[in-house]
């Protein structure tokens, strides 16, 4: 019958249009976003004179989440506020404060998280290029972990273009760098495509007299996981990598923002209220890492004076109230000192960790930890 044929024709056309819409949407999502491989080679930029790192020689390492250089005067949307973008003047001021601290302390190694490069929220400023101009470090490398040509959320005031990196710098020669992908949050495909792709930036620093380099691991684990198991999966990947390095005798230092409270720490002590859901894992996955590998701050030192090692300042607060940033070291690393640095005017919601250490001894083995 004619009406049946018309209905079938309309259904076929409608179905075809729906397929085209979904296919076009999937293609758009693919074109707009970064989908990293499990392992990617990282770029290395070296200029000027490179110092030589030797076993037994003391060197300093600074690890710091820069809060993408936007400063602490904004209450950003992901923390319950409304702000999405920072003004150019505020970003310039914040980068000046960050540069001032780095120039004052001049660490031999930098492990930075949340470094924006040409992101709309930070006035399209390449913060990595700005920090490289300080000239205190001979070699740099970086890896993106939130990259999108356009993030449509939050709706009504879109984040827009974002390109956020882990960045590592060294006074000593960096021989290679690579990006290890970490598991993502349990989210539907569309949201996951536009969201952060967490990673480890692994970098090799030449060690004089030893065929084995010092391996630096820079990372930033997931926030707002609501106890969905993501942090546990990310810790397992990190632990496996550290076990591989240990099995081959490579000295290493791991640092970054882990977004987890210390093992045994109770959210009730913090009086977090609604915020406690962000730390919802009953047994912090960090305990699985700390139980196998050495924290630069010993458990005894932390129990004696916890507030000395607090690294996170929530919006509106005047001082840090918790510890979520850590440095781990291998058995070949001698820890001489570790402290949290404070500034007269805080430029990030995280405080930098400054470690003074040395490599105990050079070891003979293949150059690259495969």
Q: Concatenated DSSP letters for 194-240?
A: HS---EEEEEEE--TT-SSPEEEEEEEPPS--TTSSHHHHHHHHHHH
70 and 86 Cβ atoms separated by less than 8 Å: yes
Q: What integer pLDDT is reported at residue 265 of this predicted model?
A: 80
Q: What integer pLDDT is reported at residue 283 of this predicted model?
A: 72
Predicted confidence (pLDDT) at residue 359 exceeds the cutoff of 90: yes
295 and 328 Cβ atoms separated by less than 8 Å: yes
Describe the strand order of the beta sheet including 294-295 as a list of residue ranges: 39-41, 174-181, 199-205, 214-220, 252-257, 325-329, 294-295
Residues 130, 58, 215, 114: is their CA dihedral positive or negative?
negative
**SS3 at position 151:** strand
Comparing CA positions, the residue from 111, 107, 129, 108 lying closest to residue 65 is 111
Calculated CA dihedral for residues 139, 144, 150, 156, nearest 10 degrees: -100
pTM check: above 0.85: yes
118/91 Cα distance (integer angstroms): 12
88/332 Cα distance (integer angstroms): 44
**SS3 at position 184:** coil
Report phi then psi at 193, rounded to 5.
-65, -40
Q: Between the ranges 81-85, 268-272, 275-279, where is the mean pLDDT highest?
A: 81-85
113/143 Cα distance (integer angstroms): 10
263 and 284 Cβ atoms separated by less than 8 Å: yes
Q: What integer pLDDT is reported at residue 345 of this predicted model?
A: 84
Predicted confidence (pLDDT) at residue 20 exceeds the cutoff of 70: no
Predicted confidence (pLDDT) at residue 22 exceeds the cutoff of 50: no
What tens digit of pLDDT does each residue of 3-12 get?
Answer: 666 665 665 5
Question: What end-to-end distance do the CA atoms of the chain give, in Å?
Answer: 69
What tens digit of pLDDT does each residue of 184-194 get?
Answer: 999 999 999 99
Tokens of 237: 């990947």
Q: What integer pLDDT is reported at residue 2 of this predicted model?
A: 60
Predicted confidence (pLDDT) at residue 341 exceeds the cutoff of 60: yes
Q: Which pairs count as long-range contacts for 80-84, CB under 8 Å and 24+ apart, including other chains?
A: 80/315, 81/315, 82/157, 84/121, 84/154, 84/157, 84/158, 84/159
Contacts of 234 (CB under 8 A, 6+ apart): 182, 183, 198, 221, 222, 285
184 and 198 Cβ atoms separated by less than 8 Å: yes
Mean pLDDT score of the chain: 90
Predicted confidence (pLDDT) at residue 273 exceeds the cutoff of 80: no
Predicted confidence (pLDDT) at residue 201 exceeds the cutoff of 60: yes
Q: What integer pLDDT is reported at residue 370 of this predicted model?
A: 60
Question: CA 30 → CA 33, 189, 190, 259, distances in Å?
Answer: 6, 11, 10, 28
Average pLDDT of the residues in 196-200: 98
Q: What integer pLDDT is reported at residue 21 of this predicted model?
A: 45
What tens digit of pLDDT does each residue of 118-176 get?
Answer: 999 999 999 999 999 999 999 999 999 999 999 999 999 999 999 999 999 999 999 99
Output the CATH code of domain 37-359.
3.60.10.10
Q: What integer pLDDT is reported at residue 48 of this predicted model?
A: 86
Q: Which residues of 328-341 are buried (b: 16+ CB within 10 A; e: fewer)?
A: bbbebbebeebebe
What tens digit of pLDDT does each residue of 87-99 get?
Answer: 999 999 999 999 9
Q: What integer pLDDT is reported at residue 78 of this predicted model?
A: 94
Residue 121 DSSP symbol: G
Average pLDDT of the residues in 286-298: 95
Average pLDDT of the residues in 257-273: 79
């Amino acid at each position: 019958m004619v009406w049946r044929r018309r209905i079938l024709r309309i259904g076929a056309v409608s179905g075809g249009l729906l397929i085209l819409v979904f296919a076009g949407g999937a293609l758009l999502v693919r074109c707009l976003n970064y989908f990293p491989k499990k392992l990617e080679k990282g770029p290395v930029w070296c200029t000027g004179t490179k110092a030589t790192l030797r076993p037994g020689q003391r060197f300093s390492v600074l690890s710091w989440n820069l809060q993408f250089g936007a400063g602490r005067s904004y209450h950003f949307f992901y923390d319950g506020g409304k702000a999405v973008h920072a003004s150019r003047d505020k970003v310039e001021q914040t980068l000046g404060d960050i540069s001032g601290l780095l120039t004052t302390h001049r660490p031999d190694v930098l492990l930075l998280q949340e470094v924006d490069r040409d992101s709309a929220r930070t006035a399209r400023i390449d913060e990595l290029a700005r920090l490289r101009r300080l000239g205190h470090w001979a070699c740099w490398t970086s890896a993106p972990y939130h990259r999108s040509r356009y993030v449509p959320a939050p709706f009504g005031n879109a984040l827009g273009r974002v390109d956020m990196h882990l960045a590592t710098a060294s006074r000593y020669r960096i021989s290679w760098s690579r990006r290890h992908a970490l598991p993502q949050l349990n989210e539907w495909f569309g949201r996951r495509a536009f969201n952060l792709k967490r990673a480890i930036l692994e970098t090799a620093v030449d060690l004089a007299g030893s065929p084995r380099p010092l391996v630096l691991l820079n990372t930033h684990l997931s926030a707002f996981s609501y106890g969905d198991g993501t942090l546990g999966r990310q810790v397992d990947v990190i632990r496996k990598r550290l076990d591989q390095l240990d099995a081959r005798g490579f000295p290493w230092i791991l640092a970054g923002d882990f977004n987890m409270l210390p093992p045994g720490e109770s959210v009730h002590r913090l009086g977090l209220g609604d915020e406690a859901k962000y730390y919802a894992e009953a047994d912090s996955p960090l305990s699985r890492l700390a139980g196998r590998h050495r924290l630069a701050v010993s458990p005894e030192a932390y129990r004696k004076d916890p507030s000395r090692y607090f690294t996170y300042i929530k919006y509106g607060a005047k001082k840090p109230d918790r510890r979520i940033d850590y440095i781990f070291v291998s058995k070949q690393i001698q820890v001489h000192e570790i402290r949290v640095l404070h500034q007269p005017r805080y430029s990030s919601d995280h405080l930098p960790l400054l470690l003074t250490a040395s490599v105990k001894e050079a070891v003979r083995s293949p150059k690259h930890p495969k």
